[in-house]
Chain A
């Protein structure tokens, strides 16, 4: 396969969820070639250079499929950070932050569901499973936000006030 075919194959399997630019494909191919995981074949008449996977490449691929992805390999969870900071920053309405996020995540979930409702051909299986991955992640986020909201209500943390709050209310802020 040559670069454009690889890109097309990737995008077809993932429903175009993560568009690739062709430059990325070619830099990856040259890195793979450098590491002897693929080898170049003679150029076609159209000037495209196809690549073939090597035995070492096959072994690397098998290892990749066999290795679970660690949570720590993923980028920091900005939302969790945002909520933690909202809780500890005076003057921030944490429930409003939770509600705004939940509304947005719910809308995302609705849209993924609409896309999924349209993809009901057996040939769409790979794409549907990618959509499911995003659906389950969004659902988990909504559940976590529900949990945050419930915890906020249950523990009703002492309202954090901006520094110029009256001394009375500031000293009332003992945990219950």
Chain B
């Protein structure tokens, strides 16, 4: 089932001669259990696509559908509720509030959604345990390493019934080992039934996705899916059967 659908989506910033076409007719479906990576040079429309997918921005033309709900038909309030309940963002930084503990940061979306504070604690600690941060609940962000902070952010992005995770360069400042751990985690959450759209400029990270979409000047120019037989890559060159 498609969790996210973009139908012929256009986004124009400004108007007249200075108008910028950030997206030009993008169509994209992301199913449950599917991770799609979006790559492309700066200014190709990657972040615009992510903002539209998460209902932070509205298309100039075309339709964005999350879980069967057409975002364009939603009132502001309904959209905000959908974002809280169904969509989790992970940014390169600025993911956590410095004055809240790790557990409070993770629980925040539930609290904003009206769940009583005492009932958010257990799911928050469980979410932290799931990202290998058992016992880190009481720590503040500045007491955590960059990789740990990013894992807290992912726990927060996927707590509750949220099935769509939208990471924007989530491994930004992390070293290659820690970055890989973050992607492994993202992959396992998606495999467990979420859907994800990952914006990255690093091919090695995009490679964790099921599909890689290349954007240029606001259009999808290429899509790369997996091969049927990965083992074939390891066959002796020219020694095909």
Residues of A within 8 A of B (CB): 15-19, 99, 102-115, 117, 135-136, 138-139, 142-143, 146, 149-150
Contacts and interface: CB of A to CB of B under 8 A. Distances in A.
Contacts of A138: 203
Interface stretch (B50-58, B120-128, B135-143, B222-230): B222-230
Interface string B213-229: 01010000111111100
B174 to A, nearest CB: 16
Interface residues of B, number: 25
A132 B208 CA distance: 14
Q: Mostly helix, strand, loop or mixed at chain A's interface? A: helix
A114 B226 contact: yes
Contact of B224 (A18, A106, A115): A106
Interface string B128-166: 000000000000000000000000000000000000000
A106 B207 contact: yes
Contact of A143 (B203, B207, B226): B203
Sorted from nearest, which 3 A-B pairs have the closest CB atoms? Answer: A142-B203, A111-B230, A109-B207
Contacts, number: 69
Given A99-B214, A115-B230, A143-B203, 17 more contacts: A19-B236, A99-B221, A102-B222, A103-B224, A106-B203, A106-B206, A106-B212, A107-B226, A107-B227, A111-B227, A112-B230, A113-B204, A117-B184, A135-B204, A135-B207, A139-B203, A139-B207
Interface of B: 41, 184, 187, 202-204, 206-210, 212, 214, 216, 221-227, 230, 233-234, 236
A150 B222 CA distance: 15
A37 to B, nearest CB: 26
A139 B202 contact: yes
Interface centre among A16, A104, A106 (most CB of B within 10 A): A106
Interface centre among B184, B203, B230 (most CB of A within 10 A): B203
B235 to A, nearest CB: 8
Given A17-B234, A107-B224, A102 B214 contact: yes
A109 B212 CA distance: 11
A94 to B, nearest CB: 14
B204 A109 contact: yes
